[in-house]
Amino acid sequence: MDHLIQRFRDGRIPAAEFLALKQWIDSDPDVPEGKWYKRFRSFTLAGNGEMPSTFLTPGMAVKGKEVE
């Protein structure tokens, strides 16, 4: 999670998008056990199992199942 917060602090994620990410995480979303990703307007969040792992910028390849 520290990695995600650092991307926000570095200015790579706009404040409004960070708020959308926080709301999504707070909603306790169902994610698959393997690799998954969630698209936001300016980035894609990728994870594996219960934990988010990294932000992907537009144009980067995604792997896994897309979650809502």
Return the amino acid letter for 16.
A
Say if residue 64's pLDDT is above 80: yes
What average pLDDT does this structure show over 27-45? 94
User: What confidence category does residue 1 fall into, taking pLDDT thresholds of 50, 70 and 90?
Assistant: low
User: What confidence category does residue 36 fall into, taking pLDDT thresholds of 50, 70 and 90?
Assistant: very high
pLDDT at 16: 86
User: For residue 29, what are the contacts with CB-CB under 8 A and spacing of at least 6?
Assistant: 38, 67, 68
Query: With contact defined as beta carbons under 8 Å apart, do 36 and 64 qualify?
Result: yes
- The CA-based diameter of the chain, rounded to the nearest angstrom, is 30
Question: 54 in helix, strand or coil?
Answer: strand
**Beta bridge partner(s), residue 51:** 48
Q: Which of residues 33 and 2 earns the better pLDDT score?
A: 33
Say if residue 39's pLDDT is above 70: yes
